[in-house]
Amino acid sequence: MHKRNSTYNKAPTVNITGWDHAAWQGYEAIMQAIVAGRAEQPKVVLVIETYPTVRQEEIISALHQWIAPVKIISAEAATIANEHIAEEFARYLTEDRVFGYMASCTIDQFYDKDKLEAMREEVQAVSSGVVVVIGFGASLVTEGDVRIYADISRWEIQQRYRSGEFGNWHLDNQDEDILRKYKCGYFLEWRMADRLKRSLLPRIDYYLDTHIQGQPRMISGRALASGLEQTASQPFRLVPYFDPGVWGGNWLQPTMNLTPREHPYAWGFDGVPEENSLYFQFGTIRLELPAINLVFQQPKALLGEKVYARFGAEFPIRFDFLDTKGGQNLSLQVHPTTDYIQQQFGMHYTQDESYYILDADPGARVYLGLQDDVDSSVMLASLERAQLGEDSFDAEKYVNTFPACKHDHFLIPAGTIHCSGADCVILEISATPYIFTFKLWDWDRLGLDGKPRPVHLAHGRNVIQWDRTTKWVESELIDRIEPIAEGQGWTEERTGLHAYEFIETRRHWFSEPVRHEANGSVQMLNLVEGEEALVESTDGAFQPFVIRYAETFIIPAAIIAYTIRPSGPSVGKTIATIKAYVRT
């Protein structure tokens, strides 16, 4: 088994300075902090807004134990009937297991105005003591005297979906297929929740981390704002997570020092702000929060004004790992064109991507583009027969394969048929709409759940670019490496992406410090060669930041300039980073 490195940091933290006094852990300390200084008030209205799948019962139990409210009101008792919620949701969800339509709805659409008014009267009728309003939508009832936001990350939500502990909001579907639950979250529930959260975070008194059952952490709203502002002014990493898959390999587990699983790890996510978390360290207390909160609250400093103007408060770049080393081929796939994703799914840009080969065994290959003179009708008919189980699809009859070697870079604009073969480690550099993969063929295999993995030939056939054949692919998409600049002990190369894609990538080889400049865009980097490097400010604006092999890190647009140099065991050696940013 491959053994390259085990110093990869699986729990990177941002040390937040000056706010140790504004952090608490454990329900006793948290509840005491909430009511501290309010003993003289005859009545206190506490509003606890929750993200979907937060364990409200746990919070209510702690309230009873440590505060003893005179009344606790579940805001969600004021929603419209569940069957009407399901009817509204169905407009966006379709019958497909994976794909829906991006919802524009807001939480207030699912609340009954008369019931909300009755709850307000119920709150007003209490003359003394603590009144609590809790739930997803609690802030619709009243602004209250004390406002708390109870939050959770997407990855933890997915674990609660998978365990069957939770279904989607008011759908009573705990036992439903995980893909359908995820679809509802991605296309509808999280969009609605994020719209509400984004409006509330600047106005909250406290922020509650509810990731670990029975182990809450809380900070003040001001500490949250300060922590997000600090993070947007320095290099930082996201909290990575890893997941098994049917084609998983043997590289991620030893390289990242992961706990062995029944099935091999296939995916590693350490550069997806919409899904990953941040760890904030306040003295001895570590708080976990969704990284998307940083994007929402510090968009200009993080993304850059030009990127923010183009994409809004959305992080447009993602890095992740695909491990097929000792594993299997990925599914043969294609991503939708921009026009198709807009028309079919309500997304405003698509999943252009690239494969950077982080490691590969001899004989590894990448499938990319079509063979010359492919008859589209014949190929589609063969794919349809394969989907029906009537025949096996001969991929190499129709699709090019190219040798894949360490540090190769394959560019994959939307509409290009592609997949990694076995025995590769891919650093996937792509635009953010990451679930829009139309599988065309999955090599006659089942998923880890024993079910056929979804194939979307009906979508895929509409977006395949049939003119992306061998000669075009060879000239346009493979190792388009161009020297850009050089200096003492360093060289800079442009490696992509294609002109059709909005992301630019640059690779630096260096044995001496190399300077990087702001370019109007957030920058995402990975140390693709070497054991360790040090990121330093050119003007002392942030503390030196250590990165290790294969770690992805983010440089906010607000940073004017920085240097990266080999450090620790890499001193005196030539190492390399790859950097991605939005062309502005």
Residue 349's pLDDT band (cuts 50, 70, 90): confident
Q: Looking at domain 482-582, which of 3.90.79.10, 2.60.120.10, 1.20.1300.10, 3.30.70.260 is its CATH number?
A: 2.60.120.10
- Mapped onto helix, strand or coil, the DSSP state of residue 479 is coil
Intrachain domains 17-231 and 265-278+302-476 with the same fold: no
Mean pLDDT, residues 486-512 taken together: 94
475 φ, ψ to 5°?
-85, -25
3-state class (DSSP) for residue 162: helix
Summary mean pLDDT of the chain: 95
What is the predicted pLDDT for the residue at 194? 97
**How far is it, in rounded angstroms, from Cα 210 to Cα 83?**
29
Instruction: Yes or no: say if 494 and 482 are a contact pair by the CB < 8 Å rule.
Output: yes
- Residue, of 452 and 215, whose pLDDT is higher: 215
Mean pLDDT of 444-456: 84
**What per-residue confidence (pLDDT) applies to 174?**
95
Cα distance between residue 241 and residue 277, in whole Å: 9
The pLDDT score that the predictor gives to residue 569 is 97
Cα–Cα distances in angstroms (integers) from residue 223 to residues 162, 231, 283, 302, 559, in the given order:
33, 12, 12, 18, 22
pLDDT of residue 1: 37
pLDDT at 223: 98
pLDDT reading at 464 higher than 80:
yes
- DSSP symbols for 485-527: EEETTEEEEEEE--TTSSEEEEEEEESS-EEEE--SS-EEEEE
Q: What is the dihedral sign for C-alpha 482, 485, 490, 494?
A: negative
CB 316: neighbour CB atoms within 10 A?
23
d(CA 427, CA 323): 9
Instruction: For the chain, give every domain's residue range.
Output: 17-231, 265-278+302-476, 482-582
Sole residue written with tokens 């020297």 = 483
The tens digit of pLDDT for each residue in 217-246 reads 999 999 999 999 999 999 999 999 999 999
Q: From CA 506, how far away is CA 269, in angstroms rounded? A: 21
Looking at 3.65.10.10, 3.30.420.40, 2.30.110.10, 2.60.120.10, the CATH number of the domain 265-278+302-476 comes to: 2.60.120.10
- What is the reported pLDDT for 120? 98
**Residue-wise pLDDT tens digits, 264-282:** 999 999 999 999 999 999 9
- Tell me: pLDDT of 3 over 50: no
C-alpha–C-alpha distance, residues 499 and 502, integer Å: 7
Say if residue 2's pLDDT is above 90. no
Q: What is the pLDDT of residues 504-555, one digit of tens each?
A: 999 999 999 999 999 999 999 999 999 999 999 999 999 999 999 999 999 9
Pairing of strands 561-566, 332-334: unpaired
pLDDT in tens, 45-76: 999 999 999 999 999 999 999 999 999 999 99
Give per-residue pLDDT as tens, 131-189. Answer: 999 999 999 999 999 999 999 999 999 999 999 999 999 999 999 999 999 999 999 99
Determine contact, residues 100/181, Cβ cutoff 8 Å: no
Query: Would the pLDDT of 6 be above 80?
Result: no
pLDDT band of residue 5 (cuts 50, 70, 90) is low
Q: Grade residue 415 by pLDDT with cuts at 50, 70 and 90.
A: very high
Span 88-128, pLDDT tens digits? 999 999 889 999 999 999 999 999 999 999 999 999 999 99
Q: pTM of the entire structure?
A: 0.96
CATH code of 17-231, in short, is 3.40.50
- pLDDT > 90 fraction of the chain, expressed in percent and rounded: 91
pLDDT at 433: 77
- Taking only the tens place, the pLDDT of each residue in 189-217 is 999 999 999 999 999 999 999 999 999 99
pLDDT of residue 12 exceeding 80: yes
